[in-house]
Amino acid sequence: MSAALVLEIKKHLQICKLLRQNFRDTKLCLKDLVQSGNFDSEFLAQVGVLRSEDLCITATTENTPTLILLGDYAASLALVNAIVKRPILPETLPPSPIGWRLLRISYGVRKGYSLSVAGNFEVIDGALARAAGRESVPVHDNLLMNKESGDTASNEAVLEISVDDELMVSGWRILVVPNQRTLTMEASSKIFSEGTLPVFVYNIAGRTLSEEDTTYLSQLRTVPTHVSILFLCPDGEPLSMGPDSPDVIPSQSAGEVHHQLLQLGYLAPPETPEGQPRPTGCDLVYGDQQLPAIDSFAKMTLHSRLLEVGSCLFSIHERILKMLTTFAFDVARDLCITPKRLIYVREKETSLFEDLNGVANMKQAEIENIIQETVASIKEGLLDEVENFSPSYSLSAELVEGAVPGGPQSPKDQQLCAEEIREVVLSKISSAVVNRLMSSLNCLRETVTGTLYRCLEGLELTEDKSHPSAANALKRIFDAAYQIQLNPATSSSIRHVFYERLRQFVQSLHWSSSTTVNKEWKREIASEMIRSLSASKLAKNILGQFKLKLQQAHEHFLTSVRQLEQKHAERLEKVEKVRLSVRRQYAPKMAKLALESASTKDLILHGQPKLGKEIGRGQYGVVFACDSWAGFSPCAIKSIVPPDDSHWYDLSLEYFYTRCVPKHPRIISFYGSVIDYGYNVHNEQAAVLFVMERMPRDLHSALKCGIPWITRLQIAIDVIEGIRFLHSQGLVHRDIKLKNVLLDKTYRAKLTDLGFCKPQALLSGSVVGTPIHMAPEIFTGQKYDHSVDIYAFGILLWFLCTGSVKLPTAFEPSMSKDMLRSSVRKGIRPERLPYFDEQCWNMMNACWSSEPYLRPLPGHIEPKLREIQHFYKQGCQIARTIKETEVVVGDSGGSPYCHLDFVNTVTNG
Ligand SMILES: Nc1ncnc2c1ncn2[C@@H]1O[C@H](COP(=O)(O)OP(=O)(O)OP(=O)(O)O)[C@@H](O)[C@H]1O
């Protein structure tokens, strides 16, 4: 085994340790999340580690990397000798009719042999004692099974060989697995999967695969572990001998092994048909270069397994963090929207209540009309109906004493009949009137209550489903007050009004014994009834009742809203606590684990970046040049040493979002990160190296050297474009300043240092940023939002307009941070300089407004700046033309200073 592979294995074991620890911490964090009881089962189901992920991670991190030598037993023994660079095993073997033993070679402080049965070391053969003194293991005593002896324990025992060679690293071992005649595939696959991270090498004796090989290999493909194998065929011959030996004519068996492996599905055809999976990871090596081939194959296999684990871990962290962020966003939205919804519900109901009261107060005449019109329109039809109406009981003169059939009915019968006619008239008129009233109020109901219902539904959605919903109760009251009371089917109030009127009428009638109840009589009674209905009295009565109901419903509504507010207040208090736990505990912890897993992944893929010369220094880290890393060149590396857990958490969370920000031309590209655990071994301090795109200069240093005005305007546009993009991603930069704007060769700007970048939902009100660019609300510890970036942009625009890095007069360099904060809070801002563009001045004033909501949105600023830039570009064009004309003509015909001033202003500022 080469020293390079030893190093590689040591590195593998170190990385495995990190990944193992990371996975344990991840599971602990998830356990905490579950035990907190704050998250529902749906959320927990989505953040949990999948079984496939668990298997993928543990199979690599918990198992020992093992070189498994399969195929020709003698060739495997020879390979072991070559690897440990000592003849510890015999290389020539007699033909074995019984079978060979499984060998396990690992590192030991002393060289030795032992036979073990089912994992227990147990010397079961006296020959071992003799063997220990020898250089190589005797064949007959130890390698050969002795089935005839019938001693199964002895036959199934594994020969353990420990080698005290520095090339055999501890934590790495070699297994020599005999063929199927000795060991069944089931037993073999158990060996491959139990505690091993296998690197398979298959020795092929001769020029082609034997029948035994083919059977073994086709069975091996069914083993569930994903098998990538290095095939060694020292005597085989490739089909093409290569350009070095053009004269050699290939033999008949040339390329045969390749063909056989292709057939078995181990090697990929040169062109795999579309859609078919390509067998990966297998390789075939001819000739005697077995050891270098094993070295690079082992390296590649271990590498890809580690990468798989790193990616798997990162995807777990990413998934959980995204879920936590979404959760925080939802909660933040809930906290913001619910009180507004409740206010809206109150306001809307009040306005509906007032509108309906207005209807009751002012629309008496209209309702009177409605009643009159309705009654007039149905009158004839109703009278016809009443004419043919048959009372429910039999109207017979015989029932009355002294009555004549077909003659007059008794007064009692007449009264009963009149009462039934009253019912008919009542139901027809009331339903017609109610229908008309309904349609006149419906319009109001639709416009006002539609939104109100939706809002109530929203409030109901956020309610605890296990309790009776207050929103539902509200809806019911609402229905009762404004809808159902006017419904003809249940319109008891209106029916009651009519009923009363008609009852009085029926009572006022005098019954005569000479009256006959016939069509004319019924019609007469009904039309008298209709005539007796006074529209104005009815309208007044209806409206009076309506107002009473309305008032009751309104009061009921207000009581319910108060209850709903109380419930929501309690719920939101709880929700806010959970949000705090997400922001302070779960999200930072998970972000740190994500930073570790992503950095480990980057380390496996691209190695440790090489720090070049220092190119800058900030409050939190040092920036170094780096020639190239991960195929990117040139790079800049920001090295940060977080002093404690809290800094680690902040850094990790913020860089997680940086990593997730999609590429954008106005944002510095982030290439990856690596954690340097060896940064300060004594203090156990690690440095986090963030690798990013390198730019020639920052805006601060460029302004010192002078930048033309048009270019400065372009920089302002670029910066606001970058801010606009970050805000569109739900992120707030929080540290917009000259040094965080980097310029490329053509002075196009990109935002860097997203170190403070956070999703708005996770903002805590922490005081971060650079004092002069910090909005007043940041100092006061209030909750702030994306508009702090606009404030900072306003200050940056001031510098861009001055064209220098000189501080505003109001903020002298000698000023303490506290003085500066107090001045900013008092509303003191940078001064206007005489040459400032009017529109730019207005814009910066709007940006640094003390009231966050008054600051313009980036989407408004960007087009405005483009307009200003267009204006100056045009001016510049004209000025240039004038200047050229002057040069040609020699006389401007006016004041030359005017032109010169303009040209200087527009071109240099
Ligand atoms: N990607 C980069 N390419 C070129 N130079 C860079 C890059 N990133 C940073 N620098 C330089 O390194 C300096 C320090 O950067 P850094 O981000 O550490 O600090 P800062 O932004 O100046 O201050 P702080 O981080 O304390 O707010 C910058 O001013 C800039 O000149």
Q: What are the tens digits of pLDDT across the range 259-298?
A: 888 888 888 776 655 555 555 578 888 888 888 889 889 9
Query: What angle (nearest 5°) sits at the alpha carbon of residue 59, between those of residues 312 and 280?
Result: 70
Ligand-binding annotation for 638, yes or no, is yes
Using an 8 Å Cβ cutoff, are 105 and 163 in contact?
A: yes
Return the structure tokens found at 686. 């690690």
Q: State if residue 695 touches ligand 1 by the CB under 6 angstroms criterion.
A: yes
> Nearest CA to 123 among 150, 153, 87, 165?
153
- In the reported structure, the alpha carbon of residue 624 is separated from the centroid of ligand 1 by a whole-number distance in angstroms of 10
Cα 771 to averaged position of ligand 1 atoms, centre (Å) = 17
- In order of 2, 313, 338, 742, the CA distances from 600 in angstroms are 25, 10, 43, 28
Mutate to test the pocket of ligand 1, among 615, 622, 692 (most ligand atoms within 8 A of CB): 615
Compute, in angstroms, the gap from residue 723 CA to the centroid of ligand 1.
Answer: 18
Q: Are 36 and 74 in contact (CB under 8 A)?
A: no
Query: Which amino acid would we find at residue 117?
Result: V
Q: Mind giving me the DSSP string for 705-722?
A: H---HHHHHHHHHHHHHH
Both tokens of 587, joined, read 């999200």
Asked if residue 705 lies in contact with residue 712, where contact means CB atoms within 8 angstroms, the answer is: no
Ligand 1 atom closest to Cα of 621? 18
Instruction: Say if residues 505 and 528 touch (Cβ distance below 8 Å).
Output: yes
Distance separating alpha carbons of residues 654 and 734, to the nearest angstrom: 11
Contact between 68 and 232 (Cβ < 8 Å): no
Q: Is the CB of 488 under 6 A from ligand 1?
A: no
DSSP-derived letter for residue 629 is: B
> Does the C-beta of 752 come closer than 6 Å to ligand 1?
yes
Separation between Cα atoms, residue 708 and residue 116, nearest integer Å: 82
The tokens describing 617, both together, are 């220094």
Burial of 470 (0-12, 13-18, 19+ CB in 10 A): buried
What's the confidence (pLDDT) of residue 513? 65
> Rounded to 5 degrees, what angle do the CA atoms 360, 361, 366 make?
70
Does residue 771 line the site of ligand 1, with CB under 6 A? no
Give the bridge partners for 676, in sequence order.
687
Question: Are the C-beta atoms of 747 and 715 separated by less than 8 Å?
Answer: yes
As a three-state string, the secondary structure of 308-329 is HHHHHHHHHHHHHHHHHHHHHH
Which of helix, strand or coil describes residue 163? strand
Considering only CA atoms, which of 529, 718, 690, 682 is closest in space to residue 602? 690
Phi, psi for residue 233 in degrees, rounded to 5: -135, 80
Q: Which one, of 460, 444, 437, 480, lies nearest residue 348 by Cα?
A: 444
Token match 């090295």: residue?
639
pLDDT under 50: residue ranges of the chain:
123-132, 396-404, 461, 463, 466-470, 473, 477, 480-490, 767, 887-909
Whether 599 contacts 675, CB under 8 Å: yes
Ligand 1 center from residue 753 Cα (angstroms): 7
The Cα diameter of the chain in Å comes to 145
Q: Give the tokens for residue 518.
A: 């016939």
Would you state the pLDDT for residue 837? 92
* Integer Cα distance of 670 and 74 in angstroms: 52
Please state whether 373 falls in left (phi above 0), alpha (psi between -120 and 50) or beta: alpha
Tokens standing for residue 719 = 């910066």
Distance CA 599, CA 687 (A): 11
Could you tell me the pTM of the whole model? 0.71
The CB of 742 under 6 Å from ligand 1? The reply is yes
**CB-based contacts of 508, cutoff 8 Å, min separation 6:** none
The DSSP symbol for 610 reads: P
Distance from the CA of 901 to the center of ligand 1, in angstroms? 36
For residue 632, the 8-state DSSP code is B
Cis peptide before 634 (omega within 30 of 0): yes
Q: Which of 689, 692, 697, 753 is the best mutation target for the ligand 1 pocket, counting ligand atoms within 8 Å of the beta carbon and taking the most?
A: 753
651 lines ligand 1 (CB under 6 A): no
Indicate if ligand 1 lies below 6 Å from the C-beta of 735: yes
848 CA to middle of ligand 1, Å?
Answer: 24
Three-state secondary-structure class, residue 514: coil
Catalytic residues: 735
Ligand 1 mean position to 668 CA, how many Å? 11
- Closest residue by Cα to atom 18, ligand 1, is 618
> What is the torsional sign of CA 671, 675, 678, 683?
positive
- 52 Cβ inside 6 Å of ligand 1: no
User: Any residues with CB less than 8 A from the CB of 636 and at least 6 apart, and which?
Assistant: 615, 623, 624, 625, 626, 691, 692, 693, 694, 695
**Core vs surface per residue 156-168: b (16+ CB within 10 A) or e:** bbbbbbbbebebb
Half-sphere exposure of 136 (CA within 13 A, CB side): 18
**796: closest CA among 848, 859, 727?**
848
Q: Is the CB of 738 under 6 A from ligand 1?
A: no
Q: Which residue has the tokens 């719920």?
A: 571
Measuring from atom 29 of ligand 1, which residue has the nearest CA? Answer: 739
- Residue whose Cα lies nearest atom 12 of ligand 1: it is 616
The finding on whether 280 has its CB within 6 A of some atom of ligand 1 is no
| Ligand 1 atom at shortest distance from the alpha carbon of 735 | 27
Distance CA(53)–CA(56), nearest Å, equals 5
- Please work out whether the CB of residue 617 comes within 6 Å of at least one atom of ligand 1: yes
Query: For ligand 1, what atom is nearest to the CA of residue 696?
Result: 4
Angle at 235 (CA atoms; ends 232, 236), nearest 5 degrees: 75
Nearest to 868 by CA among 844, 890, 833, 838: 838
Say if residue 708 is exposed, middle or buried (CB neighbours under 10 Å; 0-12, 13-18, 19+).
middle
Which atom of ligand 1 is closest in space to residue 740's alpha carbon?
A: 21
Q: What pLDDT is recorded for position 376? A: 86
Atom of ligand 1 lying closest to residue 701 CA: 31
Whose alpha carbon is nearest atom 24 of ligand 1? 618
DSSP string covering 101-156, please?
--EEEEE-SS-EEEEEETTEE----HHHHHHHTSSS--IIIIIB--GGGT-HHHHH
Type of residue at 546: F
Ligand 1 contact via 741 beta carbon (within 6 Å): no
Radius of gyration of the chain (CA): 45
Q: Is residue 616 within 6 Å of ligand 1 at its C-beta?
A: yes
Predicted pLDDT of residue 188: 76
Three-state SS at 616? strand
832: which strand partners? none
- Does 338 sit in the ligand 1 pocket, CB within 6 Å? no
Q: Measuring from atom 20 of ligand 1, which residue has the nearest CA?
A: 618
Give the position of tokens 């329109």. Answer: 377
Please tell me the distance between residue 769's alpha carbon and the centre of ligand 1 in angstroms. 14
Q: How far apart are CA 251 and CA 236, in angstroms?
A: 10
Dist. CA 701 → ligand 1 center (Å): 11
In whole angstroms, give the CA distance from residue 379 to residue 528. 11
Q: Is 698 in the pocket of ligand 1 (CB under 6 A)?
A: yes
Q: How far is the CA of 314 from the centre of ligand 1 (A)?
A: 27
The rounded distance, in Å, linking the Cα atoms of 467 and 317 is: 35
Is residue 381 within a helix (H) or strand (E), and if so which, with residue range? Answer: helix 364-387
Helical H runs in 747-786? 776-779
Q: Token pair for residue 25?
A: 């911490």
Please name the residue whose Cα sits nearest to atom 22 of ligand 1: 618
> Residue 74: which of 93, 59, 101 has the closest Cα?
93
Separation between Cα atoms, residue 596 and residue 446, nearest integer Å: 57
pLDDT tens readout for residues 86-116:
787 877 777 766 677 788 888 776 666 666 6
Interatomic CA distance for residues 366 and 283, integer angstroms: 94
Q: For ligand 1, atom 1, which residue shows the shortest CA distance?
A: 694
* Token output for 800: 């861009």
